[in-house]
Structure 1
Amino acid sequence: MGDTFAMDEIDHKIIELLSEDARMATSDIARMLSVSRATVSTRIDRLRDRGVIRRFTVELGENEDSGLIPALLLIRLKPGDSRPVVAKLKKIPGLRDICALNGTYDLAAEIVVGSLSALDDTLAKIRMFPDVAETNCSVRLRRFA
């Protein structure tokens, strides 16, 4: 599309509200922003069409009682294109928030699994990728923010 797209304050507020609760009803957003429900719906559609909002998701709570084990994985790759490794990582259950880094490691990923043995299996699978030179995994003990 050739037309220019600039986000305004309402767009930013919609994104902020949806970031806090992706399931928030458009009517609730409209009431909070003092605009019509149709305005919110149209703007969400436009934000999706422009790729600003890619997807709506559920974020699982990880606390001591959830039974889930969250970990941070750092990956150093062998020289070359990282896209094939990232594509493989995206297919592994429990991996999320894969990010490119600068510095010693090339990628970081959050892993959330149901057991330590599942974490070990996931790490073993990733370490077998031919383009992975090194990994460093730490289990997250507590979240402060």
Structure 2
Amino acid sequence: MDSIDHRILDLLRLNARSGYGDIGAVVGLSASAVKRRVDRLVATGVIRAFTIQVDPEIEGKSTEAYVELFCRGTVAPAELKRILSAVPEVIDAGTVTGSADAIVRMRSRDIPSLEMALERVRVAPNVDHTRSAIVLSRLVHRSMD
């Protein structure tokens, strides 16, 4: 990948529906040259998907929280993935360093539904406890997927 490929990716992140001609005008290539580069980026797996982002509030998921997950003993990441995948309100999760075993991002309709989702996580056999922080306002969001 070169700097032009990176610029094309930046432009597609901003608007995946951008036309090849529009992208080409910015990066200094013809529409067909941009298409060839995008096709190569897709074929090599650099671009995994073209998608949309829907405002979570429109979908009725305006309550967001970050949750630290603490487990009893050692729990394999695959087991955490199994537990968390069963809770639809979990939209992102990863194992982390530090005292928590994982950080989980959740979205729900409201506080009572968030509490019910948290309870589904807490009752899993290997989960000891959680610590939650509810998001009051989103300051920066960059999609890096």
TM range (shorter): 0.7 to 0.9
Relative distance call for 1:67 and 1:90 in structure 2 (3 A) is: closer
Which range is displaced more, 29-38 or 8-17? 29-38
Amino acid at match of 1:16: D
Corresponding residue number in structure 2 for 1:128? 123
Counterpart contact for 1:85–1:129, Cα < 8 Å: no
Amino acid at match of 1:90: S
CA-based RMSD of the aligned residues comes to: 2.5
Q: Which 5+ residue runs of structure 2 have no aligned equivalent?
A: 141-145
Tell me whether 1:116 sits opposite 2:111 in the alignment. yes
1:4-83 alignment runs, 5 A limit: 7-61=1-55, 68-78=62-72, 79-83=74-78
Q: Which 5+ residue runs of structure 1 have no aligned equivalent?
A: 1-6
> C-alpha separation between the residues in 1 aligned to 2:71 and 2:35?
42
Which 4+ residue blocks in structure 1 deviate beyond 4 angstroms? none
Task: Determine which of 72, 84, 89 is the counterpart of 1:94.
Answer: 89
Counterpart contact for 2:77–2:95, Cα < 8 Å: no
SS of 2:131's partner is strand
SS of 1:111's partner is strand
Relative distance call for 1:67 and 1:77 in structure 2 (3 A) is: closer
Aligned length: 137
What TM-score does the superposition give when structure 2 sets the normalisation length? 0.76
SS of 2:125's partner is coil
SS of 2:97's partner is coil
